Amino acid sequence: MPAGGEASRTGPGQYWYNPKGQGVILELVPPGSTVLDLGCTDGFLGVELARKGCRLWGVDIDSDAVAAVPAGVYEDARAFDLNTLAADAQLPWPDQRFDVILAADVL
């Protein structure tokens, strides 16, 4: 990790992440939570949450990133194409399914 915990790259896809932010998220998300990870990239945060016993669902606009998610981390991980996704589109999961919704390091 770079000095001072600055954002750095990780994994084969070289996706940006913020180690300090990740640490805060891991502290705040209760073990066993159901979590929707918006902008899940290659699942680097999901892997850590899965170790806490969380059940995870992931969404990202980068289909290559979603394809790189390790098997078994997310119960469902999907890529969405922003060019065809309507502004009022609904996520494919029932309302109130998740205890926590994350959008970490998403621009």
Side chain identity, residue 15: Y
pLDDT of residue 83: 62
What is the reported pLDDT for 14?
56
The DSSP bridge partners found for residue 6 are none
Neighbours of 75 (CB within 10 A): 11
3: buried, middle or exposed (CB in 10 Å: 19+, 13-18, 0-12)? exposed
Could you list the pLDDT tens digit for every one of the 107 residues in the chain? 344 445 444 544 556 666 777 888 899 999 999 999 988 888 888 889 999 999 999 888 888 888 888 888 899 888 877 666 666 667 777 777 899 999 887 76
**What pLDDT shows up at residue 94?**
76
pTM: 0.75
